[in-house]
Amino acid sequence: MFTTAASLAVLMMLQQAGATVHPEAKSQNPPKVAAASIPTPPAKPASPVVGDDPRTHKPVAKKGLDATDYAYVMPEGVTTKEIVYYSEGVPCYGKIFYPKGFDAAKKTPAIVLGQGWAGSHVSIEKYAAVFAKHGLIAMAIDYRGWGNSEGTPRLIAPVDLGGGMEKDEKRHKIIKNATVWIKRTKLDARDQQDDYRNAISFIQGEAGVDPDKIGVWGSSYAGGNSLAVTGQDARVKAIAIQIPGIGGNPDGTPPQTYTGPVLQDAIKRARTGQGSEMWTGYSRSLLIDSEMIEANRENNTLQWAKNIGERPFMVIVAQYDELINNDAAGKAALSYAKGPKDYIVVPDITHFEMYSGKPFEISSEAAAGWFVTHLMK
């Protein structure tokens, strides 16, 4: 016995059998988009993720960052400008730091800075300020969907999936009174790496910037982003990273298998436009798409170390990093560098202790000196 749906499907096939089909014509029954709704998030954890100190095997004393880590004193003569750069059409936030005595008629090297896992410009402005103190232009950025940047838009209504071939003739359309869902739950390193590269394009067009002397800096997860960007983009002439989250197979990424929750979430996203969500973060708990699990396993940053070549490469690590295996991450990446390189171990600290006090002074001054040496001289 056929169900009603099956009977309709058979009837449609019988009606089309032997008929001439013109797929270039407008669809008589274009597919309809189901109503979309923001999903109900899972229960928020009582506290952010906490790593264990490798010395004691107990939770680290410094679990994340807060306002005391963000604050900094602006160096004398350094000026700033807040800007919007575009990444895949999404307006993104950046803050440019200019050195004392900056002259737009001259050419000064510039550094693009990005922050790590679920972070934003607030924790890295202090590094940009130090770079500017040493005569560099520095631009701290927020990725799409993070910090002050806009999120990724999804059109909810009206959606038109018909129109025929003539629809391709109209390449732009402005829709007034549309319903748009702005998503800020995506955490995909590959997107963030594109944001870095679009920020490079922006700063190359800034008056007073030497477009041929661009450096990148990244902390934690952005250390991996910086490595991937440098490995793919020859515009980057020097790189310095700290407590870098780097991983993957240096020989390339094998095909990925899809099973269990990863497969089910991929199917759900493809069929409804929205998958499941999860909480993440060390300094604070933030909601992200579970798609991150799928994206992160394909984020093979170590493979790009082979492309660094002769370009100057600095890695700064925390001796007792609870989140990063220094030998498998920063040290492994640096082993492929063929030009100037340096590996600095900041002693007796864990991951988040790098951002304040003496460790901050060591790491920021070392990176600034690296860029001055290799981009200004």
pLDDT tens-digit profile of 246-270? 999 999 999 999 999 999 999 999 9
Report yes or no: 372 and 341 within 8 Å, Cβ to Cβ.
Answer: no
For residue 6, is pLDDT > 70? no
Give the per-residue pLDDT at 141: 98
Residues sharing a CB contact under 8 Å with residue 357, sequence separation 6 or more, in sequence order: none
Report yes or no: 116 and 185 within 8 Å, Cβ to Cβ.
Answer: no
Report yes or no: 238 and 337 within 8 Å, Cβ to Cβ.
Answer: no
**Alpha carbons 173 and 306: distance in angstroms, whole number:** 43
Nearest to 281 by CA among 63, 49, 1, 7: 49
Q: How confident is the model at residue 194 (pLDDT cuts 50, 70, 90)?
A: very high
Mean pLDDT of 86-96: 98
Task: Compute and round to an integer the Cα radius of gyration of the chain.
Answer: 24
Give the per-residue pLDDT at 323: 97
Mean pLDDT of 117-136: 97
Structure tokens at 126: 């202090």
In this structure, what are the phi and psi dihedrals at residue 6, rounded to the nearest 5 degrees?
-65, -40
Mean pLDDT of 128-150: 98
The pTM of the full predicted model, rounded to 2 decimals, is 0.93
For residue 49, is pLDDT > 60? yes
Report yes or no: 376 and 368 within 8 Å, Cβ to Cβ.
Answer: no
Structure tokens at 321: 């990093």
Give the per-residue pLDDT at 7: 55
Report yes or no: 170 and 57 within 8 Å, Cβ to Cβ.
Answer: no
Give the per-residue pLDDT at 234: 98
Q: How confident is the model at residue 46 (pLDDT cuts 50, 70, 90)?
A: confident
Class of domain 67-151+189-255+300-376: alpha beta
Among 21-35, 180-194, 317-331, 346-360, the range scoring the smallest mean pLDDT is 21-35
Interval 268-304: pLDDT, tens: 999 999 999 999 999 999 999 999 999 999 999 999 9
Mean pLDDT of 33-62: 92
Q: How confident is the model at residue 106 (pLDDT cuts 50, 70, 90)?
A: very high
Element (H, E) at 68: helix 67-70
**Alpha carbons 343 and 109: distance in angstroms, whole number:** 23
Give the per-residue pLDDT at 34: 86
Q: Is 143 left (phi over 0), alpha (psi -120 to 50) or beta?
A: beta
The DSSP secondary-structure symbol of 251 reads T
Give the per-residue pLDDT at 186: 96
The DSSP secondary-structure symbol of 376 reads I
Report yes or no: 56 and 167 within 8 Å, Cβ to Cβ.
Answer: no
Q: Which residues of 132-160 are buried (b: 16+ CB within 10 A; e: fewer)?
A: bbbbbbbbbbbbbbbbbbbebeeeeeeee
Report yes or no: 149 and 116 within 8 Å, Cβ to Cβ.
Answer: no
In the chain, what percentage of residues exceed pLDDT 70?
96
Give the per-residue pLDDT at 25: 87
Between CA 299 and CA 303, with CA 300 as vertex, the angle to 5 degrees is 155
For residue 12, is pLDDT > 60? no
Mean pLDDT of 331-344: 98
